[in-house]
């Protein structure tokens, strides 16, 4: 699966360093060439000899060993197709976020131009430290991809978030990135994410449970595949692509219309509120002696329907959340909205959808054809959505992947 790929693994000094021995083996089993760099402290947890034997390559530690005339940190950076830093300690994260290059690992990462995956592992209180979180956000903003630590029993005896994520997660993400061709290069893709927030007064609002995860997964995937991505989001996102932060449906409409004209594709993954309060009270509304109150709501514009009516060359994809009669409602909705594809999910299920990292969707086209995508990680779902809308399957069958609903 990874023949000819060069993986550079940077190990910093945390107890999870021992787990990276197995990660090296996972890559070697797939025929990748693996090179390892350690910070000096990492060698307190794992030996150079072990890493050397597993990777079958010299392990880099000192910065100023220059075997040929090329500075070592530059040759490491030039040679690799991806760099993985695992475990990434708070110290190493802090140095990278602040451009400090005081050992081979931090020097290489600063010269590295391709994808860097960072898998932090540390004590839960350290992970929650605001300075460390700020460093993480900064790294995200500059395009580093963070594979978040998991919750569990930590080596220090604490229970909480901080444990190195599962090795499969690091391995699968690296494989996806290495095998992702830049299939969407040259395309401008606009994606909306999150639930809109409709103010009632300065302290209250109407919204919904959308976490924005599906929209963000679509944006990350399109970006990794070379697209020029604009994410219009109600949730804060720091990434290497452009993010337009919005709040209400009206804000979102303005942002979508500004980006839509010269785009190739718009994906409306956001949960847009259908109604907003007619008047937003400038002051906090006081409790009255009445047992009930009414807030008058007015309809928000249907952004999807509107851009579908104005579209020229754009491919437009809607999402729909249904709690019953998914197929009938989706087929009716795609006709009503006029979009090219509609991705429907069943929100009555607790194991997928809102807030979950997983989803199970059915993609419809406007001819009534459909394709069910079984429950999987939102990133896998995002890849499949692009495959379907851009017909990227190996045999280039395009939308023949979608079958007539009746034949299912
Ligand atoms: N949508 C939109 N503007 C709105 C409401 C929805 O652009 N005012 C978009 C959503 O982003 C989504 C699609 O329309 O891509 C379908 O949203 P959904 O809430 O399922 O459909 P509604 O038209 O709101 O119908 P209903 O809530 O009655 O099912």
pLDDT of the residue at 1: 75
Is the residue at 183 inside a domain? Answer: no
Question: Which of 131-140, 239-248, 280-289, 350-359 shows the lowest per-residue confidence on average (mean pLDDT)?
Answer: 350-359
Do residues 341 and 303 share a domain?
yes
Domain termination site, one of 160, 178, 196: 178
CA of 335 to the centre of ligand 1 (A): 13
pLDDT of the residue at 266: 98
Instruction: Of 21, 40, 140, 45, give the one whose Cα is nearest residue 91.
Output: 40
Cis peptide before 87 (omega within 30 of 0): yes
Q: If you count them, how many residues does the chain have? A: 408
Express each pLDDT in 66-125 by its tens digit: 556 566 667 888 889 999 999 999 999 999 999 999 999 999 999 998 999 999 999 999
Q: How confident is the model at residue 64 (pLDDT cuts 50, 70, 90)?
A: low
> What mean pLDDT comes out for the span 206-217?
94
Do residues 167 and 294 share a domain?
no
Question: Which of 5-19, 116-130, 151-165 shows the lowest per-residue confidence on average (mean pLDDT)?
Answer: 151-165
- Separation CA 383–CA 282 (nearest Å): 44
Is the residue at 92 inside a domain? Answer: yes
pLDDT of the residue at 31: 92
CB atoms within 10 A of CB 258: 13
Domain that holds residue 160: 6-178
Which residues have a catalytic role annotated?
156
Looking from the CA of residue 249, the nearest atom of ligand 1 is 8
Measured by CA distance, the residue closest to atom 3 of ligand 1 is: 302
Is the residue at 255 inside a domain? Answer: yes
Please state the φ and ψ torsions of residue 37, each to the nearest 5 degrees: -120, 135
Domain CATH number, residue 235: 3.40.50.10300
Do residues 298 and 213 share a domain?
yes
Domain CATH number, residue 170: 3.40.50.1950
Domain termination site, one of 178, 208, 237: 178
Instruction: Tell me if the pTM is above 0.85.
Output: no
Do residues 342 and 380 share a domain?
yes
Looking from the CA of residue 321, the nearest atom of ligand 1 is 20
Ligand 1 — pocket residues by CB below 6 A? 249, 268, 270, 272, 274, 300, 302-304, 318-321
Q: Burial level of 247, CB count in 10 A (0-12/13-18/19+)?
A: middle
* CA distance to 36, 272, 381, per residue, from 192 (Å): 39, 10, 16
Q: How confident is the model at residue 403 (pLDDT cuts 50, 70, 90)?
A: low
* CA distance to 23, 88, 195, per residue, from 153 (Å): 20, 18, 33
Q: How confident is the model at residue 166 (pLDDT cuts 50, 70, 90)?
A: very high
Out of 300, 320, 322, 344, give the residue to mutate to test ligand 1, the one with the largest number of ligand atoms within 8 Å of its CB.
320
Instruction: Of 382, 364, 385, 362, give the one whose Cα is nearest residue 374.
Output: 362
137 contacts: CB under 8 Å, gap ≥ 6: 238
CA of 375 to the centre of ligand 1 (A): 22
pLDDT of the residue at 380: 87
Question: What are the tokens at 84?
Answer: 């993985």
Out of 233, 274, 299, 307, give the residue to mutate to test ligand 1, the one with the largest number of ligand atoms within 8 Å of its CB.
274
pLDDT at 40 over 80: yes
Question: What are the tokens at 106?
Answer: 């931090």
CA of 277 to the centre of ligand 1 (A): 17
Is the residue at 1 inside a domain? Answer: no
162 contacts: CB under 8 Å, gap ≥ 6: 120, 121, 122, 123, 124, 126, 127, 149, 154
- Separation CA 222–CA 46 (nearest Å): 37
Do residues 200 and 280 share a domain?
yes
CA of 303 to the centre of ligand 1 (A): 8
Is the residue at 114 inside a domain? Answer: yes
pLDDT of the residue at 70: 60
CB atoms within 10 A of CB 199: 16
pLDDT at 145 over 90: yes
Q: Tell me the sheet residues that pair with 128.
A: none
Express each pLDDT in 171-196 by its tens digit: 999 998 888 778 899 999 999 999 99
DSSP H or E stretch at residue 20: helix 20-29
Measured by CA distance, the residue closest to atom 27 of ligand 1 is: 274
> What mean pLDDT comes out for the span 21-32?
96
pLDDT of the residue at 44: 96
Express each pLDDT in 259-288 by its tens digit: 999 999 999 999 999 999 999 999 999 999
Burial call 61-94: b when 16+ CB within 10 Å, e when fewer:
bebeeeeeeeebbebbbeebbbbbbbbbbbbbbb
Residue 31 Rama label (left phi>0; alpha psi -120 to 50; beta)? left
Do residues 136 and 248 share a domain?
no
> What mean pLDDT comes out for the span 310-315?
95
Is the residue at 350 inside a domain? Answer: yes
pLDDT at 394 over 50: no
- Separation CA 118–CA 274 (nearest Å): 39
Residue 399 Rama label (left phi>0; alpha psi -120 to 50; beta)? alpha
pLDDT of the residue at 353: 62
Q: Mapping DSSP to helix (H, G, I), strand (E, B) and coil, where does residue 318 land?
A: strand
Domain termination site, one of 114, 149, 178: 178
Percent of the chain with pLDDT over 70: 92
Express each pLDDT in 313-354 by its tens digit: 999 999 998 889 999 999 999 999 999 999 999 887 766 666
* CA distance to 226, 273, 333, 366, per residue, from 263 (Å): 14, 24, 23, 20
Number of compact structural domains in the chain:
2
pLDDT of the residue at 388: 93
Do residues 360 and 267 share a domain?
yes
**Cβ pair 61, 48 in contact under 8 A:** yes
Measured by CA distance, the residue closest to atom 20 of ligand 1 is: 320
Do residues 163 and 220 share a domain?
no
Looking from the CA of residue 256, the nearest atom of ligand 1 is 7
Looking from the CA of residue 299, the nearest atom of ligand 1 is 8
Do residues 88 and 130 share a domain?
yes
Is the residue at 97 inside a domain? Answer: yes
Q: Tell me the sheet residues that pair with 37.
A: 10, 60
Do residues 202 and 338 share a domain?
yes
CA of 333 to the centre of ligand 1 (A): 9
Out of 212, 265, 272, 321, give the residue to mutate to test ligand 1, the one with the largest number of ligand atoms within 8 Å of its CB.
272
Look at 160 and 302; give whichever has higher pLDDT.
302
Is the residue at 303 inside a domain? Answer: yes
CA of 275 to the centre of ligand 1 (A): 11
Do residues 173 and 197 share a domain?
no
Q: How confident is the model at residue 198 (pLDDT cuts 50, 70, 90)?
A: very high
Looking from the CA of residue 305, the nearest atom of ligand 1 is 7
Where do runs of H (alpha helix) occur along 197-266? 213-224, 249-260
pLDDT at 146 over 60: yes
> What mean pLDDT comes out for the span 210-224?
94
Express each pLDDT in 359-368 by its tens digit: 899 999 988 8
Q: How confident is the model at residue 397 (pLDDT cuts 50, 70, 90)?
A: very low
Do residues 163 and 259 share a domain?
no
Percent of the chain with pLDDT over 90: 75
């Amino acid at each position: 699966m990874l023949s000819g790929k060069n993986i550079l693994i940077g190990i910093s000094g945390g107890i999870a360093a021992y787990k990276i021995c197995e990660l090296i083996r996972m890559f070697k089993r797939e025929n990748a060439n693996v090179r390892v760099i350690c910070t000096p402290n990492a060698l307190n947890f794992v030996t150079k000899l072990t890493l050397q034997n597993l990777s079958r390559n010299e392990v880099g530690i000192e910065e100023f060993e220059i075997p040929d005339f090329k500075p070592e940190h530059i040759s490491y950076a030039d040679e690799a197709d991806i760099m993985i830093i695992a475990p990434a300690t708070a110290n190493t994260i802090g140095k990278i976020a602040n451009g400090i290059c005081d050992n081979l690992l931090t020097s290489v990462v600063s010269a590295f131009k391709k994808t860097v995956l960072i898998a932090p592992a540390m004590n839960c209180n350290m992970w929650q430290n605001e300075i460390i979180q700020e460093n993480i956000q900064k790294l995200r903003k500059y395009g580093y991809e963070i594979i978040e630590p998991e919750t569990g029993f930590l080596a220090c005896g604490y229970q909480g978030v901080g444990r190195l994520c599962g090795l499969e997660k690091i391995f699968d993400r690296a494989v996806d990135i290495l095998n992702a061709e830049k299939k969407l290069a040259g395309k401008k893709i606009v994606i909306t994410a999150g639930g809109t927030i409709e103010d009632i007064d300065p302290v209250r609002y109407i919204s919904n449970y959308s976490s924005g995860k599906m929209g963000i997964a679509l944006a990350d995937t399109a970006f990794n595949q070379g697209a020029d991505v604009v994410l219009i989001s109600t949730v804060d996102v720091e990434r290497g692509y452009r993010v337009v932060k919005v709040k209400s449906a009206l804000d979102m409409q303005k942002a979508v219309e500004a980006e839509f004209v010269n785009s190739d594709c718009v994906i409306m993954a956001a949960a847009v509120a259908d109604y907003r309060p007619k008047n937003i009270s400038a002051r906090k509304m006081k409790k009255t002696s009445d047992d009930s109150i009414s807030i008058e709501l007015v309809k928000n514009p249907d952004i999807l329907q509107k851009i579908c009516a104005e579209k020229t060359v754009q491919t437009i994809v809607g999402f729909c959340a249904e709690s019953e009669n998914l197929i009938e409602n989706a087929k009716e909705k795609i006709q009503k909205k006029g979009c090219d594809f509609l991705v429907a999910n069943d929100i009555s299920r607790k194991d997928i959808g809102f807030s979950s990292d997983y989803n199970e969707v059915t993609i419809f086209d406007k001819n009534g054809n459909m394709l069910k995508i079984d429950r999987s990680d939102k990133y896998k779902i995002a890849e499949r959505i692009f495959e379907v809308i851009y017909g990227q399957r190996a045999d280039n069958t395009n939308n023949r992947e979608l079958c007539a609903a009746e034949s299912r």
